[in-house]
Amino acid sequence: MTAPVKFLLDESRMPAHWYNIAPDLPSPPPAVLHPGTLNPIGPDDLAPLFPFSLILQEVSTEREVDIPGPVIDIYRQWRPSPLYRARRLEQALQTPARLYYKYEGVSPAGSHKPNTAVAQAFYNKAAGVARIVTETGAGQWGSALALAGALFGLDIQVFMVRVSYDQKPYRRAFMETFGARCIASPSPDTVFGRSVLDRTPDNPGSLGIAISEAVEVAATREDTKYALGSVLNHVLLHQTIIGQEAIAQFALAGDYPDMVIGCAGGGSNFAGIAFPFIGAGLRGGPAPRAIAVEPAACPSLTRGRYAYDFGDTGGLTPLVKMHTLGAAFIPPSFHAGGLRYHGMAPLVSHLKELGLIEARAARQTECFAAGVEFARAEGIVPAPEANHAVRATIDEALQCREDGISRAILFNLSGHGHFDMQAYSEYFAGRLTDQQYDEDKLAESLAGLPTVAGA
Protein backbone atom coordinates (compact mmCIF):
# COMPACT_ATOMS: atom_id res chain seq x y z
CA MET A 1 0.00 0.00 0.00
CA THR A 2 1.28 3.48 -0.78
CA ALA A 3 1.93 5.72 2.22
CA PRO A 4 -0.94 8.17 2.89
CA VAL A 5 -0.43 11.87 2.21
CA LYS A 6 -3.69 13.34 3.55
CA PHE A 7 -5.40 12.61 6.85
CA LEU A 8 -9.02 13.59 6.51
CA LEU A 9 -11.59 13.78 9.27
CA ASP A 10 -15.19 13.14 8.44
CA GLU A 11 -17.52 16.14 8.94
CA SER A 12 -19.27 14.23 11.69
CA ARG A 13 -15.99 14.19 13.66
CA MET A 14 -15.49 17.96 13.56
CA PRO A 15 -15.03 19.21 17.15
CA ALA A 16 -18.28 20.56 18.64
CA HIS A 17 -16.50 22.92 21.04
CA TRP A 18 -13.60 25.34 21.09
CA TYR A 19 -10.78 24.77 23.58
CA ASN A 20 -10.01 27.42 26.20
CA ILE A 21 -6.49 27.07 27.59
CA ALA A 22 -7.10 29.44 30.56
CA PRO A 23 -8.18 26.79 33.13
CA ASP A 24 -5.17 24.59 32.28
CA LEU A 25 -2.57 27.33 32.88
CA PRO A 26 -0.51 27.37 36.09
CA SER A 27 -1.38 31.06 36.56
CA PRO A 28 -3.96 33.37 34.98
CA PRO A 29 -2.87 36.11 32.56
CA PRO A 30 -2.63 39.66 33.99
CA ALA A 31 -5.84 41.71 34.10
CA VAL A 32 -6.85 44.05 31.28
CA LEU A 33 -6.82 47.64 32.56
CA HIS A 34 -8.90 50.74 31.94
CA PRO A 35 -6.47 53.33 30.54
CA GLY A 36 -7.97 56.16 32.64
CA THR A 37 -8.32 54.53 36.07
CA LEU A 38 -5.74 51.73 35.59
CA ASN A 39 -8.27 49.45 37.33
CA PRO A 40 -9.24 46.11 35.77
CA ILE A 41 -11.97 46.63 33.19
CA GLY A 42 -15.40 45.08 33.50
CA PRO A 43 -17.82 43.82 30.82
CA ASP A 44 -19.51 47.25 30.61
CA ASP A 45 -16.27 48.86 29.44
CA LEU A 46 -16.24 46.60 26.38
CA ALA A 47 -19.98 46.77 25.68
CA PRO A 48 -19.75 49.62 23.10
CA LEU A 49 -17.41 47.46 21.01
CA PHE A 50 -18.51 43.83 21.35
CA PRO A 51 -21.71 41.84 21.93
CA PHE A 52 -22.02 40.43 25.43
CA SER A 53 -21.60 36.81 24.31
CA LEU A 54 -18.11 37.57 23.00
CA ILE A 55 -17.21 39.58 26.12
CA LEU A 56 -18.13 36.51 28.20
CA GLN A 57 -15.88 34.34 26.02
CA GLU A 58 -13.08 36.87 26.56
CA VAL A 59 -13.10 36.16 30.31
CA SER A 60 -14.33 32.55 30.23
CA THR A 61 -12.68 29.99 32.52
CA GLU A 62 -14.57 27.03 31.02
CA ARG A 63 -12.26 24.56 29.29
CA GLU A 64 -14.79 23.82 26.54
CA VAL A 65 -17.03 26.39 24.84
CA ASP A 66 -19.80 24.94 22.65
CA ILE A 67 -19.72 25.96 18.99
CA PRO A 68 -23.23 27.16 18.01
CA GLY A 69 -25.05 25.00 15.43
CA PRO A 70 -25.23 27.72 12.71
CA VAL A 71 -21.46 28.22 13.02
CA ILE A 72 -20.82 24.48 12.71
CA ASP A 73 -23.08 24.41 9.62
CA ILE A 74 -20.94 27.07 7.94
CA TYR A 75 -17.66 25.50 9.11
CA ARG A 76 -18.78 22.37 7.23
CA GLN A 77 -18.26 24.23 3.94
CA TRP A 78 -14.51 23.68 4.32
CA ARG A 79 -13.86 22.02 7.68
CA PRO A 80 -12.37 19.75 8.86
CA SER A 81 -9.37 21.06 6.95
CA PRO A 82 -6.86 18.46 5.73
CA LEU A 83 -3.73 17.42 7.58
CA TYR A 84 -1.00 16.67 5.04
CA ARG A 85 2.13 14.65 5.46
CA ALA A 86 4.70 16.61 3.43
CA ARG A 87 6.32 13.53 1.96
CA ARG A 88 7.60 15.30 -1.13
CA LEU A 89 9.18 18.08 0.94
CA GLU A 90 10.78 15.45 3.20
CA GLN A 91 12.28 13.87 0.08
CA ALA A 92 13.46 17.18 -1.33
CA LEU A 93 15.16 18.02 1.96
CA GLN A 94 16.52 14.50 2.41
CA THR A 95 15.44 14.69 6.02
CA PRO A 96 14.53 11.87 8.39
CA ALA A 97 11.96 14.28 9.96
CA ARG A 98 8.24 13.52 9.57
CA LEU A 99 6.74 16.78 8.34
CA TYR A 100 3.03 17.57 8.60
CA TYR A 101 0.99 20.65 7.82
CA LYS A 102 -2.57 21.62 8.56
CA TYR A 103 -3.87 23.48 5.51
CA GLU A 104 -6.18 26.40 6.36
CA GLY A 105 -6.00 27.80 2.81
CA VAL A 106 -8.99 25.60 1.90
CA SER A 107 -11.40 28.11 3.48
CA PRO A 108 -13.35 30.30 1.01
CA ALA A 109 -11.29 33.36 2.01
CA GLY A 110 -8.02 31.43 1.74
CA SER A 111 -6.87 31.45 5.36
CA HIS A 112 -7.69 30.51 8.96
CA LYS A 113 -9.45 33.85 9.52
CA PRO A 114 -13.02 32.67 8.72
CA ASN A 115 -12.85 30.35 11.77
CA THR A 116 -13.37 33.42 13.95
CA ALA A 117 -15.07 35.71 11.39
CA VAL A 118 -18.03 33.34 11.09
CA ALA A 119 -18.28 33.00 14.87
CA GLN A 120 -18.06 36.76 15.45
CA ALA A 121 -20.64 37.50 12.75
CA PHE A 122 -22.97 34.92 14.30
CA TYR A 123 -22.79 36.42 17.81
CA ASN A 124 -23.18 39.98 16.48
CA LYS A 125 -26.19 39.02 14.40
CA ALA A 126 -27.74 37.24 17.39
CA ALA A 127 -27.27 40.44 19.43
CA GLY A 128 -29.14 42.51 16.82
CA VAL A 129 -26.08 44.34 15.47
CA ALA A 130 -26.48 45.75 11.92
CA ARG A 131 -22.92 46.67 11.03
CA ILE A 132 -19.41 45.54 11.92
CA VAL A 133 -16.36 47.67 11.36
CA THR A 134 -12.84 46.26 11.34
CA GLU A 135 -9.27 46.66 10.11
CA THR A 136 -7.22 44.41 7.87
CA GLY A 137 -3.51 44.10 7.23
CA ALA A 138 -2.89 41.73 4.37
CA GLY A 139 -6.56 41.64 3.45
CA GLN A 140 -7.12 38.10 4.72
CA TRP A 141 -9.07 39.15 7.80
CA GLY A 142 -11.13 41.73 5.88
CA SER A 143 -11.94 39.07 3.28
CA ALA A 144 -12.99 36.63 5.98
CA LEU A 145 -15.27 39.13 7.73
CA ALA A 146 -16.74 40.27 4.40
CA LEU A 147 -17.60 36.64 3.65
CA ALA A 148 -19.08 36.08 7.12
CA GLY A 149 -21.06 39.34 6.86
CA ALA A 150 -22.63 38.18 3.60
CA LEU A 151 -23.54 34.81 5.16
CA PHE A 152 -25.28 36.47 8.14
CA GLY A 153 -26.68 39.57 6.41
CA LEU A 154 -24.44 42.15 8.14
CA ASP A 155 -22.93 45.36 6.73
CA ILE A 156 -19.14 45.20 6.86
CA GLN A 157 -16.74 48.16 6.72
CA VAL A 158 -13.01 47.46 6.52
CA PHE A 159 -10.09 49.85 7.11
CA MET A 160 -7.27 48.32 5.08
CA VAL A 161 -3.67 49.28 5.85
CA ARG A 162 -2.62 51.67 3.05
CA VAL A 163 0.43 49.70 1.90
CA SER A 164 -1.62 46.49 1.49
CA TYR A 165 -4.49 48.42 -0.11
CA ASP A 166 -2.05 49.54 -2.82
CA GLN A 167 -0.26 46.18 -3.10
CA LYS A 168 -3.39 44.02 -3.29
CA PRO A 169 -6.25 45.49 -5.32
CA TYR A 170 -7.81 42.03 -5.76
CA ARG A 171 -8.25 41.62 -2.01
CA ARG A 172 -10.36 44.79 -2.16
CA ALA A 173 -12.40 43.39 -5.04
CA PHE A 174 -12.84 40.15 -3.08
CA MET A 175 -14.28 42.05 -0.11
CA GLU A 176 -16.53 44.09 -2.40
CA THR A 177 -17.80 40.89 -4.01
CA PHE A 178 -19.30 40.06 -0.62
CA GLY A 179 -20.75 43.56 -0.29
CA ALA A 180 -18.18 45.00 2.14
CA ARG A 181 -16.83 48.56 1.94
CA CYS A 182 -13.03 48.82 1.96
CA ILE A 183 -11.22 52.09 2.88
CA ALA A 184 -7.46 52.76 2.80
CA SER A 185 -6.09 53.57 6.28
CA PRO A 186 -5.05 56.15 7.44
CA SER A 187 -8.21 57.68 5.99
CA PRO A 188 -9.93 61.07 6.07
CA ASP A 189 -13.06 59.30 7.41
CA THR A 190 -12.08 59.43 11.09
CA VAL A 191 -10.70 62.02 13.50
CA PHE A 192 -7.69 59.80 14.20
CA GLY A 193 -7.07 59.05 10.50
CA ARG A 194 -7.15 62.78 9.70
CA SER A 195 -4.68 63.53 12.50
CA VAL A 196 -2.23 60.93 11.12
CA LEU A 197 -2.59 62.24 7.56
CA ASP A 198 -2.01 65.84 8.73
CA ARG A 199 1.28 64.81 10.33
CA THR A 200 2.41 62.26 7.70
CA PRO A 201 0.46 62.53 4.43
CA ASP A 202 2.22 59.51 2.86
CA ASN A 203 1.97 57.29 5.94
CA PRO A 204 2.00 53.58 4.78
CA GLY A 205 -0.41 52.75 7.58
CA SER A 206 -0.19 49.99 10.17
CA LEU A 207 -2.56 47.61 11.89
CA GLY A 208 -2.38 49.82 14.99
CA ILE A 209 -3.63 52.87 13.05
CA ALA A 210 -6.35 50.91 11.23
CA ILE A 211 -7.58 49.47 14.56
CA SER A 212 -7.87 53.01 15.97
CA GLU A 213 -9.99 54.09 13.01
CA ALA A 214 -12.28 51.06 13.26
CA VAL A 215 -12.67 51.39 17.04
CA GLU A 216 -13.46 55.10 16.67
CA VAL A 217 -16.28 54.37 14.20
CA ALA A 218 -17.70 51.53 16.36
CA ALA A 219 -17.56 53.59 19.57
CA THR A 220 -19.44 56.49 18.02
CA ARG A 221 -22.26 54.58 16.28
CA GLU A 222 -25.11 52.87 18.08
CA ASP A 223 -25.81 50.25 15.37
CA THR A 224 -22.15 49.31 14.85
CA LYS A 225 -19.78 46.97 16.69
CA TYR A 226 -16.11 46.30 16.21
CA ALA A 227 -14.41 43.00 15.34
CA LEU A 228 -10.76 42.09 15.65
CA GLY A 229 -9.15 39.33 13.59
CA SER A 230 -6.50 38.31 16.14
CA VAL A 231 -4.98 39.13 19.56
CA LEU A 232 -8.10 38.84 21.77
CA ASN A 233 -8.85 35.73 23.85
CA HIS A 234 -12.11 34.96 22.04
CA VAL A 235 -10.38 35.09 18.64
CA LEU A 236 -7.69 32.66 19.80
CA LEU A 237 -10.44 30.48 21.26
CA HIS A 238 -12.26 30.23 17.90
CA GLN A 239 -9.03 29.21 16.17
CA THR A 240 -8.50 26.21 18.45
CA ILE A 241 -10.63 24.13 16.13
CA ILE A 242 -7.44 23.84 14.05
CA GLY A 243 -5.36 22.16 16.74
CA GLN A 244 -8.21 20.00 17.97
CA GLU A 245 -8.78 18.63 14.50
CA ALA A 246 -5.03 18.09 14.15
CA ILE A 247 -4.97 15.99 17.35
CA ALA A 248 -7.69 13.71 15.92
CA GLN A 249 -5.88 13.56 12.56
CA PHE A 250 -2.59 12.61 14.22
CA ALA A 251 -4.44 9.70 15.82
CA LEU A 252 -5.44 8.62 12.28
CA ALA A 253 -1.80 8.93 11.23
CA GLY A 254 -0.63 6.92 14.27
CA ASP A 255 1.84 9.69 15.12
CA TYR A 256 2.18 12.72 17.44
CA PRO A 257 4.15 15.93 16.89
CA ASP A 258 7.40 16.64 18.74
CA MET A 259 7.12 20.23 17.60
CA VAL A 260 4.25 22.54 16.61
CA ILE A 261 5.07 25.65 14.58
CA GLY A 262 3.00 28.66 13.53
CA CYS A 263 3.69 32.14 12.21
CA ALA A 264 2.69 34.90 14.62
CA GLY A 265 1.23 38.31 13.79
CA GLY A 266 -1.33 38.86 16.52
CA GLY A 267 -0.94 35.22 17.54
CA SER A 268 -4.25 33.62 16.55
CA ASN A 269 -3.26 30.92 14.06
CA PHE A 270 -0.28 29.96 16.21
CA ALA A 271 -2.51 29.69 19.27
CA GLY A 272 -5.14 27.89 17.22
CA ILE A 273 -2.83 25.08 16.27
CA ALA A 274 -0.60 25.03 19.38
CA PHE A 275 -2.90 25.60 22.39
CA PRO A 276 -4.77 22.26 22.17
CA PHE A 277 -1.41 20.42 22.11
CA ILE A 278 0.02 22.58 24.93
CA GLY A 279 -3.16 22.02 26.95
CA ALA A 280 -2.93 18.25 26.48
CA GLY A 281 0.65 18.48 27.76
CA LEU A 282 -0.41 20.55 30.78
CA ARG A 283 -2.98 17.88 31.60
CA GLY A 284 -0.29 15.19 31.70
CA GLY A 285 0.00 14.17 28.05
CA PRO A 286 3.07 14.51 25.81
CA ALA A 287 4.21 18.12 25.51
CA PRO A 288 5.50 19.10 22.06
CA ARG A 289 7.72 22.17 21.71
CA ALA A 290 5.61 25.08 20.42
CA ILE A 291 7.41 27.66 18.28
CA ALA A 292 5.99 31.02 17.17
CA VAL A 293 7.76 32.58 14.18
CA GLU A 294 7.56 36.33 13.66
CA PRO A 295 9.09 38.72 11.12
CA ALA A 296 12.53 40.11 11.99
CA ALA A 297 11.23 43.53 10.87
CA CYS A 298 8.42 43.52 13.47
CA PRO A 299 9.69 41.27 16.28
CA SER A 300 7.33 41.81 19.22
CA LEU A 301 7.93 38.45 20.94
CA THR A 302 11.70 38.36 20.48
CA ARG A 303 12.59 42.07 20.79
CA GLY A 304 9.56 43.69 22.38
CA ARG A 305 9.00 44.47 26.05
CA TYR A 306 6.48 42.53 28.17
CA ALA A 307 4.48 45.52 29.36
CA TYR A 308 1.06 47.13 29.47
CA ASP A 309 0.28 48.85 26.19
CA PHE A 310 -2.57 49.94 23.98
CA GLY A 311 -3.75 47.56 21.29
CA ASP A 312 -3.97 50.44 18.82
CA THR A 313 -1.91 53.45 17.84
CA GLY A 314 -4.48 56.07 18.83
CA GLY A 315 -4.76 54.87 22.44
CA LEU A 316 -8.49 54.09 22.23
CA THR A 317 -8.36 50.49 23.49
CA PRO A 318 -7.93 49.16 27.05
CA LEU A 319 -4.39 48.43 28.27
CA VAL A 320 -3.26 44.83 27.87
CA LYS A 321 -0.06 43.22 29.09
CA MET A 322 1.75 41.79 26.10
CA HIS A 323 5.03 41.69 24.24
CA THR A 324 5.03 45.00 22.45
CA LEU A 325 7.24 47.23 20.33
CA GLY A 326 5.15 50.18 21.53
CA ALA A 327 1.86 51.31 20.04
CA ALA A 328 3.63 54.11 18.16
CA PHE A 329 5.91 51.67 16.33
CA ILE A 330 5.35 51.66 12.55
CA PRO A 331 6.99 48.58 11.02
CA PRO A 332 8.72 48.75 7.63
CA SER A 333 6.48 47.93 4.64
CA PHE A 334 7.34 44.27 4.16
CA HIS A 335 5.05 41.85 2.35
CA ALA A 336 3.65 39.73 5.16
CA GLY A 337 1.11 42.45 5.93
CA GLY A 338 -0.73 40.26 8.42
CA LEU A 339 2.36 40.21 10.65
CA ARG A 340 2.87 43.99 10.83
CA TYR A 341 1.44 44.42 14.34
CA HIS A 342 3.26 46.14 17.22
CA GLY A 343 1.98 43.75 19.89
CA MET A 344 1.15 40.11 20.50
CA ALA A 345 -1.88 38.34 21.92
CA PRO A 346 -1.81 38.68 25.73
CA LEU A 347 -2.39 34.93 26.07
CA VAL A 348 0.49 34.05 23.73
CA SER A 349 2.67 36.58 25.58
CA HIS A 350 1.71 35.06 28.93
CA LEU A 351 2.60 31.55 27.70
CA LYS A 352 5.96 32.88 26.54
CA GLU A 353 6.59 34.30 30.03
CA LEU A 354 5.58 30.95 31.55
CA GLY A 355 8.13 29.19 29.32
CA LEU A 356 5.42 27.17 27.56
CA ILE A 357 6.28 28.44 24.08
CA GLU A 358 9.39 29.54 22.19
CA ALA A 359 9.71 32.39 19.71
CA ARG A 360 12.05 33.18 16.85
CA ALA A 361 12.26 35.83 14.15
CA ALA A 362 12.89 35.32 10.43
CA ARG A 363 13.81 37.70 7.62
CA GLN A 364 11.49 38.23 4.67
CA THR A 365 13.80 36.93 1.91
CA GLU A 366 14.65 33.69 3.75
CA CYS A 367 10.90 33.19 4.28
CA PHE A 368 10.12 33.63 0.58
CA ALA A 369 12.97 31.20 -0.26
CA ALA A 370 11.33 28.65 2.07
CA GLY A 371 7.88 29.29 0.56
CA VAL A 372 9.19 28.68 -2.97
CA GLU A 373 10.96 25.49 -1.88
CA PHE A 374 7.73 24.31 -0.24
CA ALA A 375 5.61 25.19 -3.30
CA ARG A 376 7.94 23.33 -5.67
CA ALA A 377 7.72 20.20 -3.53
CA GLU A 378 4.11 20.27 -2.29
CA GLY A 379 2.34 22.22 -5.05
CA ILE A 380 0.77 24.85 -2.75
CA VAL A 381 1.88 28.51 -2.78
CA PRO A 382 1.83 29.71 0.85
CA ALA A 383 0.79 33.19 1.97
CA PRO A 384 3.84 35.35 2.84
CA GLU A 385 2.79 35.19 6.51
CA ALA A 386 2.71 31.38 6.45
CA ASN A 387 6.19 31.35 4.86
CA HIS A 388 7.55 32.21 8.31
CA ALA A 389 6.25 28.89 9.63
CA VAL A 390 7.58 27.11 6.53
CA ARG A 391 11.03 28.64 7.14
CA ALA A 392 11.19 27.36 10.72
CA THR A 393 9.90 23.94 9.66
CA ILE A 394 12.54 23.57 6.96
CA ASP A 395 15.24 24.73 9.39
CA GLU A 396 14.13 22.14 11.95
CA ALA A 397 13.93 19.43 9.26
CA LEU A 398 17.49 20.22 8.22
CA GLN A 399 18.53 20.09 11.87
CA CYS A 400 17.01 16.60 12.06
CA ARG A 401 19.09 15.63 9.04
CA GLU A 402 22.21 16.94 10.74
CA ASP A 403 21.35 15.20 14.02
CA GLY A 404 20.27 12.02 12.24
CA ILE A 405 17.02 12.09 14.24
CA SER A 406 13.46 11.61 12.99
CA ARG A 407 11.23 14.13 14.73
CA ALA A 408 7.57 14.76 13.87
CA ILE A 409 7.05 18.43 13.02
CA LEU A 410 3.63 19.98 12.51
CA PHE A 411 3.15 23.47 11.12
CA ASN A 412 0.11 25.52 10.33
CA LEU A 413 -0.13 26.51 6.69
CA SER A 414 -2.38 29.40 7.66
CA GLY A 415 -3.26 30.52 4.14
CA HIS A 416 -2.50 30.35 0.45
CA GLY A 417 -0.68 33.11 -1.40
CA HIS A 418 -2.89 33.45 -4.48
CA PHE A 419 -3.49 37.13 -3.81
CA ASP A 420 0.18 37.67 -3.00
CA MET A 421 1.76 36.90 -6.36
CA GLN A 422 3.00 40.49 -6.70
CA ALA A 423 5.21 39.82 -3.69
CA TYR A 424 6.46 36.59 -5.27
CA SER A 425 7.14 38.48 -8.54
CA GLU A 426 9.23 41.00 -6.64
CA TYR A 427 11.08 38.19 -4.92
CA PHE A 428 11.91 36.53 -8.27
CA ALA A 429 12.97 39.89 -9.72
CA GLY A 430 15.41 40.32 -6.81
CA ARG A 431 13.60 43.42 -5.60
CA LEU A 432 12.70 42.15 -2.12
CA THR A 433 15.01 43.34 0.62
CA ASP A 434 15.21 42.62 4.32
CA GLN A 435 14.21 46.00 5.66
CA GLN A 436 15.43 46.65 9.16
CA TYR A 437 13.33 48.68 11.53
CA ASP A 438 14.88 51.85 12.88
CA GLU A 439 16.43 51.11 16.33
CA ASP A 440 16.08 54.76 17.43
CA LYS A 441 12.39 54.76 16.50
CA LEU A 442 11.90 51.50 18.41
CA ALA A 443 13.60 53.00 21.49
CA GLU A 444 11.40 56.10 21.16
CA SER A 445 8.27 53.99 20.81
CA LEU A 446 9.18 51.85 23.85
CA ALA A 447 9.92 55.00 25.86
CA GLY A 448 6.34 56.07 25.17
CA LEU A 449 4.81 52.98 26.81
CA PRO A 450 2.19 53.89 29.41
CA THR A 451 3.37 53.80 33.00
CA VAL A 452 1.51 51.28 35.13
CA ALA A 453 2.76 51.09 38.71
CA GLY A 454 3.75 47.60 39.87
CA ALA A 455 3.30 46.00 36.44
Ligand X SMILES: Cc1ncc(COP(=O)(O)O)c(C=O)c1O
The pattern of x and - marking residues 323 through 342 that bind ligand X according to CB under 6 A reads ---------------xx---
* Integer angstrom CA distances of residue 444 from 300, 325, 330, 451: 15, 10, 11, 14
Residue 323 C-beta: closest distance to ligand X, Å: 13
Question: b/e per residue, 66-87, with b = 16+ CB within 10 A?
Answer: ebeebbbebbeebbbbbbbbbb
d(CA 143, CA 387): 20
The reply on whether position 138 binds ligand X by CB under 6 A is yes
Of 212, 230, 244, 387, the residue at the interface with ligand X (CB under 6 A) is 230
The reply on whether position 420 binds ligand X by CB under 6 A is no
How many helices (DSSP H) and strands (DSSP E) are in the chain?
18, 15
Residue 137 C-beta: closest distance to ligand X, Å: 5
Of 164, 269, 349, 364, the residue at the interface with ligand X (CB under 6 A) is 269
Q: Is 359 within 8 Å of 308 (Cβ atoms)?
A: no
Of 386, 392, 409, 449, the residue at the interface with ligand X (CB under 6 A) is 386
Of 264, 278, 367, 397, the residue at the interface with ligand X (CB under 6 A) is 264
Residue 100 C-beta: closest distance to ligand X, Å: 18
The reply on whether position 158 binds ligand X by CB under 6 A is no
Q: Is 147 within 8 Å of 71 (Cβ atoms)?
A: no
Return the number of the residue (322 or 400) whose C-beta is nearest ligand X: 322
* Integer angstrom CA distances of residue 266 from 125, 137, 294, 299, 324: 25, 11, 10, 11, 11
Residue 229 C-beta: closest distance to ligand X, Å: 6
Name the residue number minimizing CB distance to ligand X.
338
Of 57, 81, 95, 111, the residue at the interface with ligand X (CB under 6 A) is 111
Return the number of the residue (114 or 338) whose C-beta is nearest ligand X: 338
The reply on whether position 265 binds ligand X by CB under 6 A is yes
* Integer angstrom CA distances of residue 429 from 9, 64, 227, 381, 433: 41, 48, 37, 17, 11
* Region from 16-24, 45-53, 186-194, 268-276 binding ligand X, contact rule CB under 6 A: 268-276
| Nearest to 286, CA basis, from 136, 377, 410 | 410
Of 84, 123, 141, 178, the residue at the interface with ligand X (CB under 6 A) is 141
CA 17 to chain centre: 20
Q: Where are the alpha helices (DSSP H) in 100-230?
A: 114-126, 140-152, 162-167, 169-177, 191-199, 207-219
Of 33, 357, 383, 390, the residue at the interface with ligand X (CB under 6 A) is 383
* Region from 122-130, 135-143, 174-182, 445-453 binding ligand X, contact rule CB under 6 A: 135-143
User: What is residue 415's DSSP assignment?
Assistant: B
Residue 211 C-beta: closest distance to ligand X, Å: 13
Of 51, 205, 243, 267, the residue at the interface with ligand X (CB under 6 A) is 267
Angle at 147 between CA 145 and CA 150, to 5 degrees: 105
Of 29, 114, 137, 204, the residue at the interface with ligand X (CB under 6 A) is 137
| Nearest to 416, CA basis, from 338, 345, 333 | 338
Residue 339 C-beta: closest distance to ligand X, Å: 6
* Region from 124-132, 260-268, 275-283, 447-455 binding ligand X, contact rule CB under 6 A: 260-268
What angle do helix axes 114-126 and 233-253 make, rounded to 10 degrees?
Answer: 130
Phi, psi of 38 (to 5 degrees): 60, 15
The reply on whether position 300 binds ligand X by CB under 6 A is no
Phi, psi of 224 (to 5 degrees): -120, 135
> Which residues are near ligand X by CB under 6 A?
111, 137-138, 140-141, 230, 263-270, 338-339, 383, 385-386, 414-415
